[in-house]
Structures are given as C-alpha cells and as structure tokens.
Amino acid sequence: MRILSHYFIARFFGLFLLVLVAALAILATVELVLNLDELAGARPNEAASGALGSAGLVLGSLGLRLASTYLADLPSIASFIASFLTFALAGRRLEPIAIQAGGIRLARVVVPVLMAAGLISALDAVVHESLVLRAARARLAEERAGRSAFDQEQRAFWYHSGPIITNIGYADPTTRTLHDVELFERGLGEQSGRIVRIVRAPTVRILDDGVWHFDRASVWRFDAADPLAEPRFEPAAPLEIDLDAVPRDALERADPAILPIAGLARHLARAGSPSLPRDPRLEAIFHERLSRPWRALVLCWLAVPFGLRIDRRGRIAPFAAAALLALAAYFVLSSGGSALTRLGLLPAGLSAWTVPLLFSIGAAFALPRRPD
C-alpha cells in the first residue's frame, strides 16, 4: 500500500515540476521577445560592463518580472494540471480499475496526492512571503527609479511636519526606509514663505528615535534674506533631520500589496483608532493573502474528478476542456469577488474563503461513484 502511495506521489511531483519549469521557460521566452528593450533598461542606476554585464542585467530584471508577476499563481495552476494528468494517465492505463479490483479504495491514492499538494501550498506560502514580495519591492524600486520627472502616474505622496514638506516616492515599513525623497524646508517667522533648503535623496532611513538619516543627500541652501543670491550646493552629503517623532504616516503609506503578512496583520490590529481609520481594501488584501497558499491544494482537489473519469478509451480532450472551464470559472469568480470586495459591495474575506470552499464541495460531489 505504501508503494502505491509513493508511486502516485512521485508521479504528481514529477508532473508538477515539469509543468512549473515549462511554464517559467515559456513565460521567460515571451517576456524576452516582447519586452527585451524594457528589460535591458530596467536598471538605469547600474552600469553594465560589456556583453556579459548587459546579459546579467537583462536576466536579473527578467527574474524579478517572473517572480513578481507570475510566481504567485503558477504553483497553484501547476498543481491543478499535475493532478489532472496524474489521474488521467492512471485512467488510460486502467490503474483505478486494478486498484479497486484489489479491494483498495481510490481514496487510498487520492489522499496522498492531496497531502503532496498541501506541502506545495505550505512551500508556496513561504515563497510568496519571501521571494515574491522581495521581487515586487525590488521591481517597484526599479520602476520608480526609471521614471522621468514628468511622469504624472508616479504614486508618490506628501508628508508635512512643521516647516518641512516632503515628497516621498514610496515607503517600506519593513526596513523603515523611504525612497525617492525630496524635502523642502521653509523659513520661520518673517521668512516663513520662503524655501531655505531643498534636500533630495534616493533613500532615507528612519531611526528608532524618529531621526531621518540621509546617506547620500543632494542639498541646496538658499539665503532667505536675499532671494537673488545663488544657492549653495552640497553633493552626496550625509544628513540627519530630527522630526521629534517617528512619522507614522510616512511609514504606513507603503503599497499594501507588498507588505509582509505579519506587518499587514499588525497594521490591521491598530486600525479603528481616530489616527488610523479602518481600510476595507487592506482587510480584503489581508484575507486574499491568507487564502492564497491554499489555492494549490484546492485546485489539486478540483482536478481529481476530471482525471478519474478518463478510461482506457483515452477520451482526454472532453474532460480536459471541462477541467479548463472549471479552472477559468474559479479564477473569474475569485477576481470578481475580489473586485466587489474592494469596492465595498461584499464583506472583507467573504469571497476569498467562499469561492475555494464552494469549488471544494463541488469537486466532492463531482467524484465518480464507480469507474466508467
């Protein structure tokens, strides 16, 4: 019995890896063909030394694009295809009939495959919280670094504290870092309407005591008493500015889609106070992130009824088409429910958990009660 379980688990894992690697190879080829110019210029701050350096930059940018755009969904889709093929190949070889003829229930081979899919779900959660989110943050930094000053779609925000007004490209609360910072300091008293200092820096670290630390700041100082005087310029100067308290607004304006799940949970736990109102969009993202890793297990289970209906006659096409329709329906309902949740038309978490549950129940009812 253990040998039989190992046989199906080995087949499932082999097909899963084959589908995953093939899909990544196909997507990488498509990205290279369609977006080679964009990939080659994705890191404007890095100098490429010769052909090898340029190839390295292209491959690095390609890896970031694949990880941030496709790796979140590929494991679950690969799990679905591998599950279908595992039992479809078994059906063509009459393995389910032989198993049942030996007095063994099909559940004895289906459950080990589901356990393997559960392991994939756990690994998918780890990969998403580490590799995928890290790639998303790195790609976002590249996109912002490559934008021109006239790009009106830059999702920057402003932070105001006393006489200082700061434009921030984006914030990363996990590292307490602000990116693409431009700071304007006004004078005090009679000179309150005049700019006395402008500071620009690619990154700013916020220390625990609330001090903003600029590693490489470009500083322009103006004489508020003489508007016609030429400003003094200090390139690549280290600088620290004390704003008396950690600027919560600056740190919490990070893109919620790339926050770690633990940081997002802490943010939601503090929500509801007057200083930090509840954000339904963040709650929806939190539930989506919690339910996402289970998708590999749910889709593996969803493919089982279609694979078990294939017999020695080899009619794979009708059941493969039906399986693809079920897969498409799953993603359409998930995406639609997510959109309705973010619009406030559905409670947070309802779609994220209801859609997998309904499809899991439907797969259980669709299981063949006896071999064809």
Q: Any idea where the domains of the chain sit in the sequence?
A: 2-145+282-366, 157-254
Task: Give the integer Cα–Cα distance in Å for 195 and 105.
Answer: 79
pLDDT at 346 > cutoff 70: yes
Q: What is the mean predicted confidence (pLDDT) over 58-74?
A: 81
Q: Which amino acid is at 32?
A: L
> If you average pLDDT over each of 41-55, 119-133, 136-150, 153-167, which comes out highest?
119-133
pLDDT at 317 > cutoff 70: yes
Evaluate the CA torsion angle 79, 82, 88, 91 in order and state its sign.
negative
pLDDT at 47 > cutoff 50: no
User: Cβ neighbours of residue 137 under 8 Å, at least 6 residues apart?
Assistant: 172, 258
Strands of 162-194, DSSP E: 164-172, 177-186
Task: Give the integer Cα–Cα distance in Å for 350 and 337.
Answer: 8
Predicted local distance difference test score (pLDDT) of residue 303 = 94
CA 278 to each of CA 157, 284, 341, 371: distance values in angstroms, whole numbers, following the listed order: 19, 11, 14, 53
pLDDT at 21 > cutoff 90: yes
User: Cβ neighbours of residue 46 under 8 Å, at least 6 residues apart?
Assistant: 57
Cα within 13 Å of Cα(127), Cβ side:
17
C-beta separation of 193 from 182 below 8 A: no
pLDDT tens-digit series, residues 140-196? 666 655 544 333 334 567 777 777 888 887 777 767 788 888 888 887 666 666 888
Q: Mapping DSSP to helix (H, G, I), strand (E, B) and coil, where does residue 163 land? A: coil
Q: Which of 9-13, 30-34, 161-165 has the lowest mean pLDDT?
A: 161-165
Between 137 and 351, whose confidence is greater? 351
Task: Give the integer Cα–Cα distance in Å for 18 and 278.
Answer: 44
Predicted local distance difference test score (pLDDT) of residue 252 = 52
Predicted local distance difference test score (pLDDT) of residue 140 = 66
Q: Work out the mean pLDDT of the chain and round it to a whole number.
A: 78
Predicted local distance difference test score (pLDDT) of residue 82 = 95
Phi, psi of 141 (to 5 degrees): -65, -40
pLDDT at 139 > cutoff 90: no
pLDDT at 39 > cutoff 80: no
pLDDT at 315 > cutoff 50: yes
Predicted local distance difference test score (pLDDT) of residue 255 = 58
Q: What tokens does 208 get?
A: 């625990």
Between 240 and 85, whose confidence is greater? 85
Predicted local distance difference test score (pLDDT) of residue 259 = 67
- Residue 270 burial (C-beta neighbours within 10 Å; 0-12, 13-18, 19+): exposed
Predicted local distance difference test score (pLDDT) of residue 86 = 93
Predicted local distance difference test score (pLDDT) of residue 347 = 86
Band (pLDDT 50/70/90 cuts) for residue 83 is very high
Between 214 and 174, whose confidence is greater? 214
Task: Give the integer Cα–Cα distance in Å for 21 and 37.
Answer: 24
Task: Give the integer Cα–Cα distance in Å for 183 and 173.
Answer: 19
Between 96 and 85, whose confidence is greater? 85
Q: Which of 157-171, 256-270, 286-300, 352-366 has the lowest mean pLDDT?
A: 256-270
pLDDT at 23 > cutoff 80: yes
Task: Give the integer Cα–Cα distance in Å for 10 and 116.
Answer: 9
Band (pLDDT 50/70/90 cuts) for residue 67 is confident
pLDDT at 197 > cutoff 70: yes
C-beta separation of 259 from 267 below 8 A: yes
Task: Give the integer Cα–Cα distance in Å for 90 and 84.
Answer: 10
Phi, psi of 234 (to 5 degrees): -125, 105
Q: What is the mean predicted confidence (pLDDT) over 97-117?
A: 85
> If you average pLDDT over each of 61-70, 155-164, 257-266, 359-368, which comes out highest?
359-368
Predicted local distance difference test score (pLDDT) of residue 41 = 57
